[in-house]
Amino acid sequence: MALLECNIFSHELMMNTYVNVVLPQDTHNYIKGPPPKTLMLLHGISDNAAGWLRGSQAEVLAMEYGIALVMPEVQRSFYQDMRYGLKYYSYVSGELPRLCAELFNLSVKPEDLMVAGLSMGGYGALYLALNNPEKFSHCGAFSAACDFEGLVKHYKQFEGQGEIGTRLGEELTAILGEAMEVGDRQSLFRAAEKAAGKPVKPKIYMSCGTEDFIRQQSLGMKDHLSKLGFDLTWEEWPGIHDWHFWNEALKHFLAKYLVKQPR
């Protein structure tokens, strides 16, 4: 595999931003042929574009399946077009796939474009896929922070607590504005209801550790998607909110939908 650590200019963000890209490559020459399938891997609230590379076997798995990985950086934005900040949703959902096709010769056709993420990135993956069901064929949500409304409503419970809550109120105000109103697109539950009526919908894989503090949020979303008739796979096994679980979840997600390349 080829690992590209890129600094690209985004017109949506109006600034340079980092994105890590892993491309299929043999030991000597770039593999010529049709553009590879693309998996956008989204980081959690305390990570950045390097999170998946540092914490998991993502690059090794990409080599086994012959796919490209795109790992953007969105700070602590919850993948939103922020009220007082940057347009991360527009960047990740629209501009970034286009740039990847142009710059790296990746396939971003709906049947070839997948998105997955952990925790805040799990929310981001569902957020992108449910609001753009015509763009993404598959979605993986690992230990996903699904209840954005609940987080906004009860954010004061987390303020001052560790890496998540230190400035949570300020961050949510920057995302939503002073009223902190969660719209239909930002609510995964309402976005799912809208997407359920679309002619094309992504296949969704969700997983969460049985000891994960966020498990009830994932279970609630799983039940909601099932009732709406989505093609959904749910898995759980012993685990907490950590890279040991997320690395295994990525393996399960890829094995569910892709075939390993012959060596």
Give the integer Cα–Cα distance in Å for 43 and 50: 8
Whole-number pLDDT of residue 31? 54
Structural domain that includes position 31: 2-146+191-257
Whole-number pLDDT of residue 160? 64
C-alpha Rg value of the chain to the nearest Å:
17
In a domain, 181, yes or no: no
In a domain, 237, yes or no: yes
In a domain, 234, yes or no: yes
In a domain, 174, yes or no: no
Give the integer Cα–Cα distance in Å for 63 and 261: 8
In a domain, 62, yes or no: yes
| Domain count of the fold of the chain | 1
The string of pLDDT tens digits covering residues 132-180 is: 999 999 999 999 999 999 999 888 777 666 677 678 889 999 999 999 9
Give the integer Cα–Cα distance in Å for 115 and 124: 9
Give the CATH number, domain containing residue 245. Answer: 3.40.50.1820
Whole-number pLDDT of residue 162? 66
Give the integer Cα–Cα distance in Å for 141 and 207: 7
Q: Which two tokens stand for residue 91?
A: 């960047």
Q: How many CB atoms lie within 10 A of CB 89?
A: 23
In a domain, 103, yes or no: yes
According to DSSP, the β-strands at 203-209 and 232-237 are parallel
Give the integer Cα–Cα distance in Å for 3 and 9: 19
In a domain, 20, yes or no: yes
Give the integer Cα–Cα distance in Å for 1 and 25: 5
The string of pLDDT tens digits covering residues 220-263 is: 999 999 999 999 999 999 999 999 999 999 999 999 999 998 76
In a domain, 68, yes or no: yes
The string of pLDDT tens digits covering residues 181-216 is: 998 889 999 999 999 999 999 999 999 999 999 999
Whole-number pLDDT of residue 262? 79
